[in-house]
Structure 1
């Protein structure tokens, strides 16, 4: 394995304040596809011995300086060694072209994070879990179905990216005719991009907001396009994914093997989130007594990105404590 040398920002450039109870450093690790990923590592100050550890990623289109870093730092204050990483092709991580997503490669990103954590001297390799936020909640569940080294999985305000790509929101484009129209649009875009020799970006979160924007689009704008959550490396904050960046989700269902997960899975969603049905659908796919669905009263999708009064960190601490600490 040969790691790519990444140009990593060393100053604190997160969308949340630094917690002095936690030590922080930048680290890198390599996926089995040879892509070098960048991560922020958070460790309880003064911690000794082998710790339980978690890897955190998401939301879809975000970077580790946003919600995933907030989660990782907070969980480190509760005794876990935690990394928040940028997925392949995104943020400070490597991979070309930029701003492309893949159900396979992004699932591998989680497994590669487990590779890295398993080989650290200060981590117990038998006590590693993961947290996926938004679209990376689906990737986290897929990783848990694939990798038995993952002993506990939390999916926060999750999207099933395969389902929404295939069916649209609430099944609004769930027909062969609608999918064929999307396939033709992607095919035309591929031809245009190849002819131009560069990839067209799809645009990030809508800005300015149209008067008729639905509430969840307004919520995204309030996070990604304001000082609350804006980050210059985030596609959602800036110019978005490649226009062809999510093609492969159409034909590759993420959650087909969720029924064979034996380790604990915690699904957390907001009561008022437009995306709530994704967690409910994932819950139905899970089998046995290893699953738990927590609905946060009054919460929206984006509340679970950074609202400390809404994110159930005590519940997460208890979940990982029970699952990872023997």
Structure 2
């Protein structure tokens, strides 16, 4: 008999130094975004504080890595918020499990809308952290939303580039044409059947071990999302098949150099399979920028391993640049 999985839980232990509040607000498309707001129990209600908005890894939810980041930043004196992207987690939007680069970028700005009207947030001191896929969304939001004063990413992925060119630009032109053909024709199937086909998902129960025969990248994601380490029933890792069409038409970070003179901090693991995307973003970004390499860390290790995530560096970066 399968064990019932409680959907309203965190994959980490809530610190006794912070309070966590469930909040909800709308983005400019009218979609309700669900978030967790973390505030230190020591905070002074008569003061205004710097704030940080934190996006989830692509396919993740706020109860996982983004919540770990928000909790740790709150312990360090920031008002911090982790949110679920539209169509996913507890956020609104139909059809469910849609991935939209435009709307995911907008969700960061909607979070700035909310934080900037919080009575204890200094709206001139708001930064953003993007983990994995949300790193690309956070940087893209900052290109046009000047209210985001400083941006950090960890284990960053460029999801648009991944869709258009394959992992590390390994897709041939012929392969790309074939993927476009398949996703385009899928629209007819979806229209005819009245429902949206989705890509494969992680299991609905945590696995005791990573399945054999997976490629190294997929195996790593299974280690986090499909085992007790990071399993959450809302983080199924799948999206509508036709979501890939939008990413092909919406290149992320096209104007990353225009974020300057606002600072960018890019953090990656020494052994991360995604290093290619962080290193390229660092080359393209203008000063001030900084690249931090975490010794021994893989891609997923910067989701949840608090002994490897350089929170002291994140604290000093945002305190220096949100002052």
TMscore range, shorter length: over 0.9
For 1:232, the equivalent position in structure 2 comes to 233
Contact 1:166 1:250 in 2 (8 A): yes
Structure 2 Cα separation of the partners of residues 106 and 11 of structure 1: 23
Any residues of structure 2 matched to 1:193-204 within 5 Å, and which? 193-204=190-201
> 1:211 offset after TM fit, Å?
3.4
Structure 1 Cα separation of the partners of residues 113 and 124 of structure 2: 12
- Picking from 15, 23, 39, the partner of 2:11 is 15
Total equivalences in the alignment: 311
Any residues of structure 2 matched to 1:124-163 within 5 Å, and which? 124-163=122-161
TM-score scaled by length of structure 1: 0.92
- Picking from 50, 75, 78, the partner of 1:77 is 75
- 2:243 partner SS: coil
| Consecutive unaligned residues in structure 2, runs of 5 or more | 1-5
1:117-175: per-residue Cα shift (whole Å, max 9, x none)?
01111000000001111000000000111111001101110000111111101222142
Q: Relative to structure 1, is the Cα distance of residues 11 and 168 closer, same or farther in structure 2, using a 3 angstrom cutoff?
A: closer
Contact 1:64 1:85 in 2 (8 A): yes
Structure 2 Cα separation of the partners of residues 282 and 92 of structure 1: 30
- 2:290 partner SS: strand
- 1:246 partner SS: helix
Structure 1 Cα separation of the partners of residues 183 and 74 of structure 2: 42
1:263-288: per-residue Cα shift (whole Å, max 9, x none)?
11100011111110100111111112
For 2:246, the equivalent position in structure 1 comes to 248
Structure 1 Cα separation of the partners of residues 313 and 51 of structure 2: 16
Structure 1 Cα separation of the partners of residues 77 and 48 of structure 2: 11
Matched, 1:43 2:39: yes
> 1:214 offset after TM fit, Å?
2.4
Contact 1:160 1:278 in 2 (8 A): yes
- 1:28 partner SS: strand
- 2:19 partner SS: strand
Structure 2 Cα separation of the partners of residues 209 and 24 of structure 1: 32
Contact 1:100 1:246 in 2 (8 A): no
1:240-295: per-residue Cα shift (whole Å, max 9, x none)?
1112223211121101110111211100011111110100111111112x111111
Structure 2 Cα separation of the partners of residues 283 and 43 of structure 1: 31
- 2:29 partner SS: coil
Structure 1 Cα separation of the partners of residues 122 and 66 of structure 2: 22
For 2:3, the equivalent position in structure 1 comes to none
Structure 2 Cα separation of the partners of residues 42 and 181 of structure 1: 45
Matched, 1:54 2:52: yes
TM-score scaled by length of structure 2: 0.93
| Consecutive unaligned residues in structure 1, runs of 5 or more | 1-9
Judge which range, 261-270 or 211-220, deviates more.
Answer: 211-220
- Picking from 19, 29, 38, the partner of 2:25 is 29
> 1:209 offset after TM fit, Å?
5.5
Contact 2:155 2:267 in 1 (8 A): yes
For 2:85, the equivalent position in structure 1 comes to 87
Contact 1:205 1:220 in 2 (8 A): no
Structure 2 Cα separation of the partners of residues 12 and 104 of structure 1: 28
CA RMSD of aligned residues (A): 1.6
1:48-100: per-residue Cα shift (whole Å, max 9, x none)?
11010011011000000011011001110000000100011011001111111
For 2:286, the equivalent position in structure 1 comes to 287
For 1:219, the equivalent position in structure 2 comes to 220
